Chain A
Amino acid sequence: MKYWVDLHIHTCLSPCAEDDMTPNNIVNMALIKGLDIIAVTDHNSARNLEAVIEVGNRQGLLVIPGMELCTAEEIHLVCLFPALEQARTFENLVYSNLYPIENREDIFGPQILMDHEDNVIGKETRLLSGACKLDVETAIKEVRRLDGVVIPAHIDRQSYSMLNTLGTIPSEYFFKYLELSKNCSIDKFLNENPSLGPYYYIHSSDAHFLGDILEQEVSLDLNDRTIESLLGLLR
């Protein structure tokens, strides 16, 4: 069956995201737009996942626990996990590999932690949006060890893209899916990068604003609407 998805959405925990990217706003906006499954992928953190998952459970939206990791090479990887527990295990590893840089709200923006009723329960003080010390290879290995899936993020872009930073998508990483940004034409992209033909592609919003969340634009064919089925397809 066909399910409408958007597998790359930030909450107000990401410093560059708008403050109204709250758990309830995200879930309700995704439902208004007719989505069936979303993934929440804050920069280097899993701390707002529980709240969004809880709202999703209540409102009937499947929320995949995820993270947008910024590796030591400054490459963004969308990491998706089978459950909150694995996302938290990975977060522990990432946090122990963050550079000791405090967030400056005046420069980067606030990093807001919320509960399932959109109450502010705190702020993350370490800067989340920069690189951590984990390199791509280690990160991929660790996510897969936790039964998660790694998708290189927005590879068509100039910044934080694996293709731009490494100049290639190394075949030894065995990716199945690559992410393109919302408005990137796949035909144009493959014309410019013919060697990347064998991969599957998924467009995601990388939403930092509520309005950016995808409409019914990207669908996946799954046996049922479960995390297992989704990760099984992407793996």
Chain B
Amino acid sequence: MMTINELTHKLGLKIITEIPKKMEKKVTGVYTCDLLSHAMAKINEGDVWITIHTNLNVVAVASLTDCACVIIPENIEIDKQTIERASEKEVVFLSSEKSAAVLCYEILKLIKD
């Protein structure tokens, strides 16, 4: 079983909000969707959620669903207030230069191994 910490290292992700106690949380799945209402209904606890949105509502959806962490793909710039809110609400935000599709593929492979 992989932790957020291991995932971060294996995929070379950039840590945007480091929440030490959350970094050992287990990653059990991956989900990607940019429609927040849909994501809210579908993300399972322990999922990595990949979305291109970087607004405050992402933090709310991540808290509500108790996902493992959020990954922002393609080096998309993240709103400053989102980073602040994520730190406050203890939501791990990571970022990557890769696309959502590539990230899903790599995460699923890691989970399977």
Which residue of B is nearest A129, CB measured? B57
**Nearest CB of A to B3, in Å:** 25
Q: Give the contacts of A104-140 with B (CB-CB under 8 A).
A: 104, 107-108, 129-131
Summarize B's interface: helix, strand, loop or mixed: helix
Asked if A193 is at the interface (CB within 8 A of a chain B CB), the reply is no
Identify which of B36, B41, B63, B64 contacts A74 (C-beta below 8 A). Answer: B36
Q: Give the contacts of B51-85 with A (CB-CB under 8 A).
A: 53-55, 57, 60, 63-64
**Nearest CB of B to A163, in Å:** 15
Asked if A57 is at the interface (CB within 8 A of a chain B CB), the reply is no
Which residue of B is nearest A16, CB measured? B56
Cα–Cα, bound, A108→B89 (Å): 12
Known: A101-B40, A159-B53. A131 touches B64 (CB 8 A): no
B residues adjacent to A (C-beta < 8 A):
35-37, 40-41, 53-55, 57, 60, 63-64
Identify which of A104, A107, A130, A158 contacts B36 (C-beta below 8 A). Answer: A130
| A131 x B36 contact (CB < 8 A) | yes
Q: Which chain A residues border B40 with CB–CB below 8 Å? A: 101, 130
Which residue of A is nearest B79, CB measured? A158
CB-CB contacts of A151-169 with B at 8 A, as 1s and 0s? 0000000110000000000
Q: Which chain B residues border A73 with CB–CB below 8 Å? A: 35
Q: Which chain B residues border A129 with CB–CB below 8 Å? A: 57
Asked if A200 is at the interface (CB within 8 A of a chain B CB), the reply is no
| A131 x B35 contact (CB < 8 A) | yes
Known: A159-B53, A159-B55, A159-B57. A107 touches B63 (CB 8 A): yes
